[in-house]
Amino acid sequence: MPTDPNPLLIDAPRPAFADIRPEHVAPALDRAIADHQAAMAEIMTSRGGDFYSVFMARERADAVIDQIWSAVNHLQSVCDTPELRAAVDGARPALVRHAMAVAQDPRLYAVLRDLTPNDAQEQAALAATLRDLELSGVALPDAERARFAAIKVKLSELKSAFGNAVLDATAAWHEDIADEAMLDGVPEADKAAFAAEAAANGVTGWRVTLHQPSVRAIMAHADNRDLRFRVYEASGTRASDRGPHAGQFDNGPRIVEILTLSQEAAELLGHADHTGVSLATKMARDSDEVIAFLRGLAAQARPFADRDLADLRAFAAERLGIADMQPWDTGYVVEKLRVDRHALDETAIRAYFPVTKVLDGLFVLLDRLFGLRFTARDDVETWHPDVRYYDLRRGDGPVFAGIYLDLFAREGKKGGAWMDVCRPRLKRPAGEQLPIAQLVCNFAAPTGGRPALLSHDDVVTTLHEIGHCLHHLLTEVSIPSVGGITGYEWDAVELPSQLMENFAWDREGLRLMSGHVDTGAVLPDDLLDRMLGARTFQSGLFLLRQIEMGLFDLLIHREGAKVDAGTVGRLLAQVRGEVAVSTPPEWHRFAHAFSHVFAGGYASGYYSYLWAERLAADAFGRFAEDGTVSAAVGDAFRLEILSRGATRPAIDSFVAFRGREPADDALLRRYGLAA
């Protein structure tokens, strides 16, 4: 791609994030779409050509347009402004229409179908591409193909609007507090973050928001029950017809339209419902198999969840004076009981996890497991001063990949934690393009000259997301459509991330990643023993909550044409009646902010977290059998799973690493539900 004053059109190893402006988006995508159309036209004259000149030409053309869209979409997630949002939303329909036109072009399909792959990687890439084209409606009659494309454009718009509504509703609510007594029980680090938020907005005192560090601090620690209720209500009714901003950002109509259009698209492809489309690219055979898996887990978890809930209610009544424990009390009671039963103080634990020490220890861990060296760069453009960039090497070898870390919550940044692909590994005529990942979290930022202190949950989250990054960065596949996480079965893609979480509970791993903020002392054995003892604390309730969300997602997508304004609430109540032991009030609107499903890539696939956790728990057993931080096992994991991408079925990669099919017992032990 030639050099262009538009930073999105510069062919460079990394995006020029600091230079990208909203006005660059539309011209860059117009140019990229035109170039992509020309590339596809040339490919369609190549019938009978060799695999590299045809298939890889398509991969390279796709990579150019993908990297432009990746950059602007990423910026909207981490530095949202009205101007950038308008530019992204304005450009999205044309991009989706173009993507559908390419995916539905029978001439391109015919050219690709006639190709002869040279090896197993190329064969897997071609098979996946043809399957995806078929799932895009390429084989449909003209009128149905056009309707399918129109649905996809509309769904893209709706999902973007859904996510924006959640972001706007999150930003719209806050509570300013002048009397510090209202924050009794809240750790000093969180109060400092509230004070910094207030000061940043010209307010005296403390500001509580709906960003996750703030919500978590109030719900787990605030003694003031009324404050807990207000935060619970505001968070639980975001983007809905209820709560403090009732109707202002309401996602209810969008949910119905998303489900209705998804059903129509599925029927056009010959599936009974959207679950058939979703599972066509996953490890699970069909939704019946997954529903049986979830219900089987629920049956085993429910007795433990009943016991957990009884413990909470008894403790709340006897020790906290809360005779009628409500959902806005649950997190608070859980934390108090956890401290009482396991003598764990979150503030004391956080003191052992300054963010710099966690990162330094993480890099040592990754060196010992996979031979990776991280080198910080201060000459790489980023999107915010907090962001850090690192080169990756194997030992003393050349740079083979890169990663951005963006760890702290701020205004204009989407909540949660995630990994994004910035650049794929790609075979190009001038040499191989190196893979780059973006790791994004929303931890409480440092305040008052003190380093940011992570909770142990934050450490788990960091390891989870680095697992996704490793899957992308350590791929040895130079065909982007089947390299790294791309094309990998979605219900197995959490395997590396959930496996890495185990090192947050591993004695050797925690010694590397801990160091007291004042003394530098590592996490003491007695504290770690208590943390390990508490690992399965209240796990029955947690597991049922995950099952509830996964089951709801599948069943709502099996409703077919019956979806209406009352379907979501009715079905959610049905699922809760089947698997839950405690339910939120009627006015709670969980689904209206369920962005994983209605704005992200997890529609009919939220079960993937538990499905993959079964794989991860079993796979980590091999590490545990060999001393956990084992270079030999780490190298085997890299070779058989991380490096292979989607060039073979995920189950084959698992068996190659573990030596057998996955078993359920490790997952049950992970939750304390089996011996």
Ramachandran angles phi, psi of 391, nearest 5°: -80, 150
CA 625 vs. chain centroid, Å, equals: 29
Helix (H) or strand (E) holding 72, with range, is helix 57-78
Measured at the CA of 595, the angle between CA 446 and CA 335, to 5 degrees, comes to: 50
3 state SS of 278: helix
**b (16+ CB within 10 A) / e for 270-285:** ebebbbbbbbebbbbe
Confirm if 640 and 471 have CB atoms less than 8 A apart. no
Q: Which amino acid is located at 263 in the chain?
A: Q
CB atoms within 10 A of CB 302: 18
Residue partners of 5: CB distance under 8 A and separation at least 6: none
Q: Exposed, middle or buried, 203 (CB in 10 Å: 0-12/13-18/19+)?
A: middle
Instruction: Count the helix, strand and coil residues of the chain and give each as a percent rounded to the nearest 5.
Output: 60, 10, 35
List the beta bridge partners of residue 426: 433
What order do you get walking across the sheet with 399-408 strand by strand? 372-377, 388-394, 399-408, 436-443, 418-423
- Give the residue among 108, 17, 99 at the shortest CA–CA distance from 65: 99
State the Cα–Cα distance between residues 658 and 656, nearest whole angstrom: 6
User: Which one-letter DSSP state was computed for residue 642?
Assistant: I
Confirm if 412 and 80 have CB atoms less than 8 A apart. yes
Residue partners of 297: CB distance under 8 A and separation at least 6: 543, 547, 610
Q: Which of 465, 501, 559, 640 is catalytic?
A: 465
Give one DSSP letter per residue of 1-59, joined into a string.
----SSGGG---SS--GGG--HHHHHHHHHHHHHHHHHHHHHHTT-TT--HIIIIIHHH
Q: Which amino acid is located at 23 in the chain?
A: E
How many angstroms separate the first and last alpha carbons of the chain? 59
Residues in the chain, overall count? 675
What is the Rg, in whole angstroms, of the alpha carbon atoms belonging to the chain? 25
- Give the residue among 10, 133, 146 at the shortest CA–CA distance from 71: 10
Specify whether 465 is catalytic: yes
Could you tell me the two tokens for 180?
């510090």
State the Cα–Cα distance between residues 64 and 67, nearest whole angstrom: 5
Q: State how beta strands 436-443 and 399-408 pair.
A: parallel
Confirm if 48 and 113 have CB atoms less than 8 A apart. no
State the Cα–Cα distance between residues 29 and 40, nearest whole angstrom: 16
Catalytically active residues are 465
